[in-house]
Amino acid sequence: MNLVLRHVLTRQSLRLCDKIAYNNVPKQIAITSKCPIIQYRKYSEQGTETRKLPQLMEFPPIMWPSFIKYVKNWMFSNFIIRPYFDQEFSLNEFIEASKHAVQIVSGALQNSDFKTLEGLVDKDAINALKTAVSQLSVSQRQLLAIEKEDIFYAFPYQVGVIFDDSDKRWVEITMCYHVLRGLKNMKESGDMPPITLGAQPQYQDNIFILNYRFIREFTKGVEDSWWVNIVNHFQPHMLIKKM
């Protein structure tokens, strides 16, 4: 039912109940008698609940870049990873390629297709995601799939190099993506959102932030590819409300 119509009907029902109460009970009771509107509130709360998307994994939510980390990331990429790990490594190319991985992983999560995640997502992460997705409602699962064209801002929050005592070494990159669901269609129709879309209530339910952490082993003689070991989707306006 249209929200405005429901509101009008609720107001009309309230007036009718007040009139009936006033005519059929003593005046001193009729003055304080009101028809409950619990059902109306319940509908509103349920509608809000289906638009909430809880975090999928235990990981501190990342929303914005850090200037200090930005400098460190640049140094790691250009003075450690490229000369000693992978001479063809480009952080910009990695960012673009990672968006494709996000589309595959998020689409598989929406469909509970965990078989597709094998070989792309760490086994422990897959188990954690299975538990998290199983607790989502159908409406919440529909919020998981992300088109890479809907990502309007992506940045590496942290680039790190890991060594252990057995001379094994890995590169780990934590990415953050800002997403506006439906952005691709808006671009195609020429209807671009405003710069201040985060402050516009009509866009809030379609804005998501994704945190993905990628890791790859670069031990000498080991052939490896990038894996995902952290996956988090959340809505920033819901996170802000909790603070």
% of the chain with per-residue pLDDT over 90: 59
Which pLDDT value is given to residue 122? 96
Task: Give the Cα separation of 232 and 112 in Å (integer).
Answer: 15
Rounded to whole angstroms, the Cα distance separating 226 from 120 reads 7
120, pLDDT greater than 80? yes
Domains parsed from the chain with CATH numbers = 3-46 (no CATH), 54-242 (3.10.450)
Using one digit for the tens of pLDDT, what is the confidence trace for 163-213? 988 889 999 999 999 999 988 888 888 777 766 665 566 677 889 999 999
pLDDT per position as a tens digit, 15-58: 433 443 334 444 343 333 333 333 333 333 344 454 578 889 98
pLDDT for 201: 64
**Long-range contacts (CB closer than 8 Å, 24 or more residues apart) made by 30-39:** 37/10
pTM above 0.85, yes or no: no
Q: What is the pLDDT of residue 196?
A: 63
